[in-house]
Chains A and B, each alone.
Chain A
């Protein structure tokens, strides 16, 4: 740019002389001393051919009298091909050619377009955009003798500029350029669509016309800060033409050019905000409901605990009075009364066991786990020993296979083994030869244990009832029990992160499995 300007000024200073030179370049016969002219011509020619700018010289008829190397390079024509031809016939598009031709037919020095851009058609038919600076060389009488055009090929620059503008215009994000007073100098389609104003409307507006979160003086201060720090990234809200408020994420950079410019990218984050607000609400709701459930659960546990104790008091009263009747007043009763009294005492005891089991179930859910490594072989052995004492006078084969170690609450796991083993003993009582096997293995980092018996078994269709409180598959006359034992097993294993299930066929024994972490 600078070079081009300087060259032009220099050329203008040398104006009269150059005029002569150009006449010579045109090939007009010369009467002056050959040597001096050759020397000057070489100098000028070298100069003009070396510079990157396009230099073309026309006579007053618009015919090309000089065409430098840069021109040859840009158009694909050689000087020889265009020499003496009218400029417009070769290079200009039809519409322009006509007006330029007219201009030359009435050429005046004072009506001369100094600077403009136009397209030149090259030899291969493509277009180059050239930015021209023109100067006129006058003869002694003051009329135009030659016109020197100095041009810069701005095709690539313009294309890049257009591309960049297109990108910004069509970008998904909003884009502005503003001055330091907040006046819009450029806005893209994305922002227009977002805010509802047209581009023309916005170009007459200011940031403060759309800003909804900051007051005008705050925006002014904000711009000052952006100037100091070179940029900023923040969230704000903009007011659309229809009055809607949208959440905007702003990324702004300060350009230190001319009077200063702000280059601003804007993203509509309304939906994002809504979604994150929805997620926050859902989480809050979830937390609230979880804590409600926990509270309800605690309440239920507390209730079952105190209910169990409260149930015990009247039961103790019934039991005590019935015992007194049996111990002291039995001779007042006939046989029927004695039978009934026996039933009352029996039921009282059953109720008492039921309460004990309910309390155990409540404890198995309430008590904090005291985790340790458990030697399951030792634990199973001690449970078997304890149960054997209760089981006398029948053939029972107890087979204890080696067991993998477990990690858990020893007291609770002991309860699990106790319940499963006593179940197995109970349901093999009718067998001539009861057989119970305890075993285990390791699989996928979990220990799997089983208690297998050859007792009455159960129908697999009833398997899902097994672990529920008060579900009994056999009447209490057939097999005594409260229907809570397996519910306790299930709850304890579940609290250890394990699984419990059973397999059986009716009359072919049952196998209960449970898993524990190692």
Chain B
């Protein structure tokens, strides 16, 4: 069964590029344009991993991170951004990775594989 990835990104061209690349990797990809849309898709799409931009209109990545984690504690979240300065805060708030945006998506793809691999390991009993 395909793993589901939710890409949250306000830049349409980037959504296009991620979608293209990640589908080619064999993932089921859905997209949201901001934090609000991401939250509304959470129940419907039940993603296995979320890629989250930080600076977005309506609801940015910081608020989205906190709201998503309060609903679904176990979804791995990768912050994908051009701004390096939020890394320490957002990692401490529970993000799983913080990757600088680049036209080379290999680092992102590598991190997705690594995080999904980790989640496949047996989880503690109370969380199942």
Residues of A within 8 A of B (CB): 309-310, 312-324, 328, 348, 352
Contacts and interface: CB of A to CB of B under 8 A. Distances in A.
Given A313-B11, A318-B103, A328-B24, 10 more contacts: A312-B82, A313-B101, A316-B82, A319-B102, A319-B104, A320-B105, A321-B20, A323-B104, A324-B17, A348-B103
Which 3 A-B pairs have CB atoms at the shortest separation, nearest pair first? A319-B103, A317-B13, A320-B17
A378 to B, nearest CB: 28
Contact of B14 (A313, A322, A328): A313
Given A309-B82, A313-B101, A324 B20 contact: yes
Given A313-B14, A313-B82, A314-B13, A320 B24 contact: no
Contacts of B83: 309
A322 B102 CA distance: 12
A314 B17 CA distance: 11
Contacts of A324: 17, 20-21
Interface in B69-114: 82-83, 101-105
A309 B85 CA distance: 11
Contacts of A317: 11, 13-14, 16-17
Most buried by B among A317, A321, A328: A317
A320 B82 contact: no
Contacts of B18: 320
A310 B56 CA distance: 12
Given A309-B83, A321-B13, A316 B102 contact: yes
Nearest to B101: A316
A313 B102 CA distance: 8
Contact of A323 (B11, B82, B101, B103): B103
A457 B19 CA distance: 49
A317 B10 CA distance: 11
Nearest to A352: B103
Given A309-B83, A328-B24, A320 B103 contact: yes
Interface in B13-69: 13-14, 16-18, 20-21, 24
Interface residues of B, number: 16
A312 B101 contact: yes
5 contacts: A319-B103, A320-B18, A320-B21, A320-B103, A320-B105
Contacts of A321: 13, 16-17, 20
A316 B17 CA distance: 10
Interface of B: 11, 13-14, 16-18, 20-21, 24, 82-83, 101-105
Contacts of B102: 316, 319
Contacts of B13: 314, 317-318, 320-321
Contacts of B14: 313, 316-317, 320
A319 to B, nearest CB: 2
B26 to A, nearest CB: 14
Contacts of B101: 312-313, 316
A320 B21 CA distance: 9
A310 B83 CA distance: 9
B44 to A, nearest CB: 26
Contacts of B103: 315-316, 318-320, 322-323, 348, 352
A319 B11 CA distance: 13
B109 to A, nearest CB: 12
Contacts of A320: 13-14, 17-18, 21, 103, 105
A322 B14 CA distance: 12
Nearest to B21: A324
Nearest to B53: A313
B82 A314 contact: no
Most buried by A among B17, B21, B83: B17
A338 B35 CA distance: 38
Given A322-B103, A323-B104, A314 B21 contact: no
A293 to B, nearest CB: 26
A313 B24 CA distance: 22
Nearest to B105: A320
A321 B14 CA distance: 8
B11 A314 contact: yes
A318 B13 CA distance: 7
A503 B72 CA distance: 64
Contacts of A352: 103
Contacts of B24: 328
A317 B19 CA distance: 12
Contacts of A315: 103
A366 to B, nearest CB: 12
B108 to A, nearest CB: 10
B81 to A, nearest CB: 9
A319 B104 CA distance: 8
A312 B54 CA distance: 14
A313 to B, nearest CB: 5
Nearest to A348: B103
Contacts of A314: 11, 13
Contacts of A316: 14, 82, 101-103
Contacts of A323: 103-105
Contacts of A319: 102-104
Contacts of A310: 82
